[in-house]
């Protein structure tokens, strides 16, 4: 194997500040092209709504929360820009992983001090809390914090400040999961 | 005076305003037929080119999928029939002007051939395999002896099968979206591409995957060319064909066609294949799976959208 290929296969990450600028430009492009910002939790929410609507349509339509996301024209809740945004993010991430040598065998990334199982349990618990919180906050770090702040929404600013501020504080308590 | 309001409309589900009589069975069958054709074509091709050792999965292992794909596909077709007990009557006649007759007879030849091809490799791939009956051992020896002739037959019949899956639709004059001569060759190319993807996924040899990947890139290029050509042809034709093209250019099927067929089913896997050929590490199953799903969605979209297009309004 020549050295060029070996070099290509080393995982590579860009400078986080540069990454932040790129993310901002991506957000701008999303507003410009799609007229909407970025979102992540919204796609999961629509997936949940679709499953509930399929399994128990009467319950979904009668529920104040689910019914908001069921289109009146009878089309699927999945037929939404949020879903296509999520699909794009998934495949875009995959392409980035391929180019920068991070696309390897399916694996669980975790600190050497914890097992893969602990990592999965912690990620699952964190994900559930994040999912609940994002719905109370009307969006997650992408939908509310990034897109909200970019459109100068006051709610977005609060989400941004509290989400990352509290995250910073709580990181200390759970630091052993990582370092 | 008592007023009454009458509203009349055309709403007979699956009949009017759109005659929708082909459901999931047909695209599944067209897809599996194309996939089988693709695998058989390249198994035959590399046998004729004496590359059985270098392209072992394509020639020996991937064809194991073919009998299964054909049987499942034919069963789906059988489920679609209204008078199922009369299917055998297709084999009481040969009608050269009927694509269905061509298809029925091609499948009658292709399906047993695919079984014989697989059977001829059983002992080589599974050394403990025993046919138990002497007559079967003799039949196997005969199949091995005439393997090259079978390879030629397989290549030829695979082309007929692949083209037929498209012509089955394009022969419908009353459906403007289907009624294009591009469809036969387009479905064949798509079938070859999905066949290559399946072989590529199964292969463990780097050399083999590289060869298949290169061939697949050519197929994807041809497919994109044909799709553009088909849409341009529609847009330059009569009003009904222009309307048919608009189903993919802003109409009902735009998103599913461009996102799942063109981008995720062709362009994105092609990009990954190019990256892999350039030395980047790409798990082979990702482009292969995307191509296979893209091909399946393409059949569903074409069958569904085609039934909406018509001459009379």
Tens digits of residue pLDDT in B153-205: 999 999 999 999 999 999 988 899 999 999 999 999 999 999 999 999 999 99
Q: Is the pLDDT of residue B3 over 80?
A: no
- Interface with chain A: mutation pick from B277, B279, B297, highest number of A CBs within 10 Å: B279
User: Cα–Cα–Cα angle for A82, A127, A146, nearest 5°?
Assistant: 45
- Quick one: CA dihedral B88, B89, B92, B96, positive or negative? negative
pLDDT beyond 80 at A11:
no
Cα–Cα distance for residue pair B109/B159, rounded to 1 Å: 13
Full-model pTM: 0.88
Contacts of B282 in chain A (CB under 8 A): 98, 103
Asked if the C-beta of A129 comes within 8 angstroms of chain B's C-beta atoms, the answer is no
pLDDT tens by residue, B226-271: 999 999 999 999 999 999 999 999 999 999 999 999 999 999 999 9
Q: Return the C-alpha torsion angle B153, B158, B161, B167, nearest 10.
A: -120
CB contacts, 8 Å: B279 with chain A: 4-5, 8
Measured from the Cβ of residue B66, the count of other Cβ atoms closer than 10 Å reads: 28
- Residues in chain A closer than 8 A to B13 (CB atoms): none
Q: What is the ipTM of this complex?
A: 0.80
Contact with chain A for residue B238, Cβ under 8 A: no
pLDDT reported for residue A36: 85
Interface check B283 vs A, CB under 8 A: yes
Most confident of A73-87, A134-148, B121-135, B138-152: B138-152
Q: Tell me phi and psi for residue A150, to 5 degrees.
A: -65, -30
- Nearest Cβ partner for B281 among A4, A87, A101: A101
Kindly tell me if the per-residue pLDDT of B133 is higher than 50.
Answer: yes
Give the nearest chain B residue to A95 (CA atoms): B272
Residue B179 Cα, gap to closest chain A Cα (Å) = 29
- Let me know if A168 is exposed, middle or buried by CB neighbors in 10 A (0-12, 13-18, 19+): exposed
Q: Which domains are delineated in chain B?
A: 25-308 (1.20.1630.10)
CB contact under 8 A, B272 and A95: yes
Say which DSSP state A133 is in. Answer: H
Instruction: Give chain A's end-to-end CA distance (angstroms, integer).
Output: 35
Query: Which pLDDT value is given to residue B121?
Result: 95
Cβ distance B271 to A9 less than 8 Å, yes or no, reads no
Nearest to B280 among A84, A87, A98 (CB): A98
Residue A142, classified by CB atoms within 10 Å of its CB into exposed (0-12), middle (13-18) or buried (19+), is buried
Q: Residue B212: name the closest of B197, B190, B224 by CA.
A: B197
Distances (CA, A) of B209 to A161, B200, B212, B284: 50, 5, 5, 8
The answer to whether the CB of B39 falls within 8 A of the CB of B198 is yes
Neighboring chain B residues of A94 at a CB cutoff of 8 Å: 286
- Residue B16, beta-bridge partner list: B12
Per-residue pLDDT reduced to its tens digit, A143-179: 888 898 988 999 999 999 999 999 999 999 998 888 8
Nearest CB to B282 within list A4, A5, A98: A98
Phi, psi of A116 (to 5 degrees): -60, -35
- Show Cβ contacts of residue A97 under 8 Å, excluding neighbours closer than 6 positions: A103
> Do the Cβ atoms of A44 and A52 come closer than 8 Å?
no
The dihedral through the CA atoms of A15, A17, A23, A24 has a sign that is negative
**pLDDT digits 0-9 by tens, A29-87:** 989 988 888 888 889 899 999 999 999 999 998 999 899 999 988 888 998 888 998 99
Asked if the Cβ–Cβ distance from A4 to B279 is below 8 Å, we say yes
Can you give the pLDDT at residue B232?
Answer: 96
For residue B69, the model assigns a pLDDT of 97
**Nearest-by-CA chain B residue for A80:** B255
Is pLDDT at B210 greater than 60 in this prediction? Answer: yes
Predicted confidence (pLDDT) at residue B148 exceeds the cutoff of 60: yes
Quick check: A1 pLDDT over 50?
A: no
pLDDT at B223 over 50: yes
- Does residue A88 register a pLDDT over 80? yes
Q: Does B268 reach chain A within 8 Å, measured CB to CB? A: yes
Average pLDDT, chain A: 88
Mutate to test the interface with A, among B282, B287, B290 (most CBs of A within 10 A): B282
Residue B15: phi and psi, rounded to 5, are -125, -50
pLDDT band of residue B1 (cuts 50, 70, 90) is low
């Amino acid at each position: 194997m020549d050295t060029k290929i070996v070099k290509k296969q080393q995982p590579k990450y860009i400078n986080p500040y540069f990454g932040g600028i790129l993310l901002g430009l991506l957000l701008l492009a999303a507003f410009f092209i799609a007229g909407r910002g970025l979102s992540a939790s919204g796609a999961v929410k629509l997936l949940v709504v679709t499953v509930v609507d399929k399994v128990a349509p009467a319950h979904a339509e009668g529920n104040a929360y689910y019914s908001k996301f069921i289109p009146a024209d009878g089309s699927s809740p999945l037929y939404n820009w949020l879903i296509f945004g999520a699909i794009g993010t998934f495949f875009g991430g995959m392409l980035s992983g391929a180019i920068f040598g991070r696309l390897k065998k399916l694996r669980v990334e975790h600190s050497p001090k914890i097992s893969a199982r602990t990592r999965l349990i912690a990620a699952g618990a964190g994900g559930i809390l994040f999912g609940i919180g994002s719905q109370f906050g009307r969006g997650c770090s992408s939908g509310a914090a990034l897109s909200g702040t970019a459109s100068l929404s006051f709610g977005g600013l609060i989400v941004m400040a509290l989400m990352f501020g509290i995250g910073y504080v709580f990181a200390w308590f759970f630091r052993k999961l990582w370092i | 005076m008592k007023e009454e309001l009458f509203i009349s409309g055309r709403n007979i589900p699956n009949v009017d305003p759109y005659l929708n009589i082909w459901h999931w069975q047909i695209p599944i069958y067209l897809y599996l037929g194309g996939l089988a054709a693709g695998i058989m074509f390249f198994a035959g091709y590399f046998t004729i080119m004496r590359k059985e050792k270098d392209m072992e999965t394509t020639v020996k292992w991937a064809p194991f999928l073919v009998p299964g794909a054909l049987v499942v596909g034919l069963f789906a077709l059988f489920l679609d029939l209204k008078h199922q007990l009369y299917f055998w009557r297709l084999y009481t006649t040969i009608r050269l002007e009927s694509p269905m007759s061509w298809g029925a007879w091609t499948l009658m030849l292709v399906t047993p051939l695919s079984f014989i091809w697989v059977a001829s490799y059983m002992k080589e791939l599974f050394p403990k395999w025993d046919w138990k009956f002497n007559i079967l051992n003799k039949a196997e020896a005969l199949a091995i002896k005439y393997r090259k002739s079978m390879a030629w037959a397989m290549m030829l019949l695979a082309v007929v099968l692949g083209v037929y899956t498209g012509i089955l639709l394009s022969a419908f004059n009353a459906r403007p979206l289907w009624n294009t001569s591009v469809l036969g060759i387009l479905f064949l190319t798509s079938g070859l591409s999905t066949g290559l993807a399946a072989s590529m996924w199964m292969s463990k040899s780097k050399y083999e995957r590289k060869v298949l990947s290169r061939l697949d890139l050519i197929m994807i290029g041809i497919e994109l060319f044909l799709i553009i050509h088909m849409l341009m042809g529609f847009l330059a034709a009569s009003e009904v064909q222009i309307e048919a093209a608009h189903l993919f250019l802003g109409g009902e099927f735009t998103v599913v066609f461009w996102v799942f067929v063109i981008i995720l089913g062709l362009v994105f896997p092609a990009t990954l294949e190019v990256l892999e050929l350039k030395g980047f590490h790409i798990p082979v199953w990702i482009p292969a799976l995307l191509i296979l799903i893209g091909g399946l969605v393409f059949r569903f979209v074409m069958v569904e959208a085609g039934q909406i297009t018509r001459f009379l309004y």
